[in-house]
Amino acid sequence: MEFPVYVVLPAAGSGERMGINQPKQFCHILGLPLIIYTIECFERLPWITRIFVVISLEKMNYMQRILNESDFQKVELVEGDSTRHRSIRNGVNAICNPDDNEQADMEKGVVIIHDAVRPFVDEDTLRKLTLAASEFGASGAIRPLVSTTVAADEDGFLDHTLVRSKYRASHTPQAFSYPIIKTAYEKISEDNLDFGTECLHLAQEYCQVKAKLIEAPDDVWKVTYRRDLYAAEALLKEKRVFPCLVGFDDNRLVKSIQSHLAEKSLRCSSVHWLTSTPKHINSIAIMVEGEENVQDQANEALNWLEEHATDGGCLIMILLMKCPPNMEKLHQIAHTLSNQSKGSAINVSILVLEEKTYYMGAVERIGSLVTTLMFDRLSAFSGQLFVV
């Protein structure tokens, strides 16, 4: 992008519809608060300039502690207010101050507004919305309606039905030219501040700007009810597995593992040496012939994962044995590796396979088991020894 791009994440809500005491943006999924996954969607993009997270005053210290445990470089906290629009206004006002070096570029800047409890926004959608906002002044993500919308009369009977094909559901992210959204919040009425929720409407009402609507993937849904947490966990598991096979010379086994992972919509790369492993990988399966070097290779792989897989991961050592292994020794190695990795939340397991069993057709079983270990990443599997 040739202009600054800012993000405002309103996260000051109480999450009453979730039916729990904890605001939904702070509910833990896979060991992390939901809001962390949302922030990551923007933090990882080099063209995002800064991220303003709008938090209620009582949660400010808690949020700061969460950020201190992360490696975010672009996040700033802003105190929220009593309503959604008031909180977003605080975030927009925090973007630029008189001493800011970015002041000269602000007329060309774009502001993305996104709900903190929509953790699955993709870069392609963000890029389309940002470019559309730069060109047209405002843009918003939409999705087709999945149910017919009806209107009831004052007695609770059907009054009329809308033609579903003519309407779309509005979602975030939404993007705005900085001058447009700044002006809209300067002109906003008290009624809109108290009861309004749709930012696109503000651009249209106060700046006479018609938003460009962008069809978004169905992943932009919002975590609203308790059941949504389970759906979010399943989707996060799928999206946060980045597997790689190291040292596999047998194409049958590689294809088996890749086939099983493909069933879960996961792609798996294969390399010969750990040093050539892509940096974004967080789950590794290593093929080792014999048990002599397993400890050293496992330590090397574990150190690599601890450096690169900041959100945990999975290490699977597959031992191809020409003779029966020393099971006691392997149990001890698995236990030791698991204890070493506890601080980094990396699950470590060892699969033992005798050569004669392997050539009798264990390929599919190994593929299935490796996929399960990588995908589920259950702590109960860590330190376990599997004989295939």
Range with the poorest average pLDDT among 42-46, 112-116, 274-278: 274-278
Higher pLDDT, 320 or 99: 320
CA 91 to chain centre: 22
Place of tokens 């009453």: 16
What pLDDT, on a 0 to 100 scale, did the predictor assign at position 359? 63
| pLDDT bucket at 94, cuts 50 / 70 / 90 | very high
List the single range of 72-76, 206-210, 232-236 with lowest mean pLDDT.
232-236
Residue 140 has pLDDT above 90, yes or no: yes
Domain boundaries, the chain: 5-236, 241-387
Strand ranges of the sheet holding 5-10, from the earlier edge strand across to the other edge: 75-79, 50-55, 5-10, 110-113, 168-177, 138-144, 212-215
Cα(165)–Cα(319) distance, integer angstroms:
57
Q: Can you tell me the distance from the alpha carbon of 374 to that of 286, in angstroms, rounded to the nearest whole number? A: 12
Angle between helices 226-239 and 34-43 (to 10 degrees): 40
pLDDT class for 38, splitting at 50, 70, 90? very high
The band of 14, judged by pLDDT with boundaries at 50, 70 and 90, is low
Tell me the residue length of the chain.
388
pLDDT of residue 93: 94
Residue 42 has pLDDT above 90, yes or no: yes
- Please state which of the ranges 145-159, 222-236, 303-317, 353-367 shows the lowest mean pLDDT: 353-367
Q: Taking 90 as the threshold, does the pLDDT of residue 362 lie above it? A: no
pLDDT at 247 > cutoff 80 = yes
Q: Count other C-beta atoms under 10 Å from residue 233's C-beta.
A: 14
- Output the pLDDT for position 20: 60
Could you give the CA distance from residue 69 to residue 60 in angstroms, rounded to a whole number? 15
User: What integer is the mean pLDDT of 67-84?
Assistant: 90
pLDDT greater at residue 120 or residue 113 = 113
pLDDT of residue 87: 95
Q: Are 294 and 350 in contact (CB under 8 A)?
A: yes
Segment (H or E) for 298: helix 294-308
Least trusted range by pLDDT, from 10-19, 52-61, 228-237: 10-19
Collapsed DSSP state (helix, strand, coil) of residue 175 = strand
Rounded CA-CA distance 89/77 in Å is 14
DSSP label at 265?
A: T
| pLDDT value of position 210 | 93
Report the pLDDT averaged over residues 278-297: 82
> What six digits make up the tokens of 197?
């929720």
**Is the model's pLDDT at 186 over the cut of 90?**
yes
User: For tokens 């601890």, what's the residue?
Assistant: 306
* pLDDT at position 75 over 90: yes
The answer to whether 182 touches 92, Cβ cutoff 8 Å, is yes
CB 351 within 8 A of CB 333: no
Find out whether 179 and 149 touch, Cβ atoms under 8 Å: no
Least confident of 2-11, 193-202, 365-374: 365-374
Look up the pTM and report it: 0.69
Sheet order of strands, 313-321 included: 269-271, 243-246, 283-289, 313-321, 346-354, 385-387
Specify the range with the lowest mean pLDDT, choosing from 75-79, 233-237, 314-318: 233-237
Residue 373 or residue 20, greater confidence: 373
Give yes or no for residue 160 having a pLDDT over 60. yes
Is the pLDDT at 105 greater than 60? The verdict is yes
- C-alpha distances (whole Å) from 144 to each of 59, 165, 170 are 35, 8, 9
CATH superfamily of 241-387: NAD(P)-binding Rossmann-like Domain (3.40.50.720)
Name, in order, each residue with C-beta under 8 angstroms of 378's C-beta and a sequence gap of 6 or more. 347
Q: What single DSSP character describes residue 220?
A: G
E strand or H helix that includes residue 180? helix 178-187
Residue type, 212: K
Mean pLDDT, the chain, rounded, equals 86
pLDDT attached to residue 367? 86
Confidence tier at 15 by pLDDT (50, 70, 90): low
Residue 266 to residue 258: CA distance in whole angstroms = 8
Q: Three-class SS of residue 158?
A: strand
Higher confidence at residue 259 or residue 249?
259
**pLDDT given for residue 4 in this prediction:** 93
Determine the pLDDT at residue 311. Answer: 63
CA-based nearest residue to 178, from 39, 49, 73, 74: 49
CATH class of segment(s) 5-236: alpha beta
**158 pLDDT above the threshold of 90:** yes
pLDDT at 253 over 60: yes
